Amino acid sequence: MIESVLNPSNLQAIWLTLKLASLTTLILLPISTVIAWWLSNTHSVFRAPISALITLPLVLPPTVLGFYLLILMGPHGPLGQATQALGLGSLSFTFFGLVLGSVLYSLPFAVQPIQIAFEAMGPKPMEIAATLRANPIDAFFSVALPMARSGLISSAILSFSHTIGEFGVVLMIGGNIPGQTQVLSTQIYSHVEAMEYAQAHWLAGGMVAFSFLVLFTLSLLNPRATRVLN
């Protein structure tokens, strides 16, 4: 049974999922850190609408987000036309299209833990750094980031695990192409469609165990980070 589960098709889907989750997390961390810092410190009138826009994937059906991304990246969409003009072709139904969709879909899971950590820090550490003549950039890297370390770790874990569990967005913008866009969640879907329930059980059970370990780790690491799931 183990040999049938770890067949080349399943292993390829697992590898593609890990590759997608890793790239998405690496892209999200610096972007989310900048956004979270701005949201936690700004008094701009644009704070509320931008925060709502970033949080939108938490409540928006994944198929809706995937549909509009598919239109955006398609040959007649503005992004699709731009990539084609640059000789890159269309991003829809490609791995890089999946990366773009995953970054947007997982953005709130990356931003909120870091924002919570920055807000919990308060303004005093940065004020103290300023009195010691540290410029804002030095203070950010030497004071704010180390103090927000647990938020950064939680952000990385949530981004990685959330990307692994994607289905709706992935299926809409990437389809289910073996070796190109067929990730673990769509591979399970393929097994169910083919009535290969034993293989689907093994893969789904592995995702359940992984999800439990992620939540358990987060609860030990930083209980406040779980607020993004409530």
CATH number of the domain bearing residue 63: 1.10.3720.10
User: How confident is residue 104, by pLDDT bands cut at 50, 70 and 90?
Assistant: very high
Which residues constitute the domain of residue 161?
Answer: 2-229
pLDDT tens, residue by residue, 85-94: 888 788 888 8
pLDDT tens, residue by residue, 33-92: 999 999 999 889 999 999 999 999 988 888 899 999 999 988 888 888 888 888 878 888
Domain count, the chain: 1
DSSP codes joined into one string, the chain: -HHHHTSHHHHHHHHHHHHHHHHHHHHHHHHHHHHHHHHHH---TTHHHHHHHHHGGGTS-HHHHHHHHHHHHSTTSHHHHHHHHTT----TTSHHHHHHHHHHHHHHHHHHHHHHHHHHH-SHHHHHHHHTT--HHHHIIIIIHHHTHHHHHHHHHHHHHHHHT--HHHHHHHTT-TTTT--HHHHHHHHHHTT-HHHHHHHHHHHHHHHHHHHHHHHHH-GGGGGGG-
